[in-house]
Amino acid sequence: MITKSQRTASTLKRLRRISHVLDNAIAIPGTKFRFGIDPILGLIPGGGDTVSAFFAAYIIWESAMLGLPKEVLIRMFSNILFDTFAGSVPIAGDIFDVAWKANVRNVALLEEYLQLPESNEKPDKWFLVLLLIGLIMFVAVVGTISILIISFLFNLITGNK
């Protein structure tokens, strides 16, 4: 039988791995600088930020299942909103994405919480569902706006109407 602490350790290890791949997997030779696939995915107009947000939402979901309070979940959600919004700006947003590392920040918030004495707080499933629906809607709106802007600029450059 798996204990709660073993399940928590396993989940934390999985979330660290995901955040590492998203934010720190690739080292720039000769420097201490690292980035992950999140800013690379961000180069794909609309769709890349959606894929990144899916993984970010998974980190938030698993964190909630470990009992994080609403305040911490809202901070995690804010990190992702900020990352998605800033990352939607072509080129500059991707450069920002390399530095912000929202997923690493969120796993750090989780680890910080897990260091506190154990609480018996259970995740509010409706709050979490609404939070994730809000994230999906936000990403969809930002993705749609990005695609519309790119389409407008393309038509402006090519002379198509």
Regarding predicted confidence, which is higher, 119 or 147?
A: 147
112 burial (CB, 10 Å; 0-12 / 13-18 / 19+) is exposed
**pTM above 0.85?**
no
Q: What is the pLDDT of residues 100-115, one digit of tens each?
A: 899 999 999 999 998 8
If you search the block for the tokens 């180069």, which residue do you land on? 43
Q: What is the pLDDT of residue 119?
A: 61
Is residue 59 predicted with pLDDT exceeding 90? yes
Q: What is the pLDDT of residue 48?
A: 77
Selection from 125, 133, 143, 134 nearest residue 52 by Cα: 143
Can you tell me the mean pLDDT for 56-77?
A: 91
Q: What is the pLDDT of residues 121-145, one digit of tens each?
A: 666 778 888 888 888 888 888 778 8
List Cβ neighbours of 127 (8 Å cut-off, separation of 6 or more): 70, 73
Q: How many CB atoms within 10 Å of residue 159?
A: 6
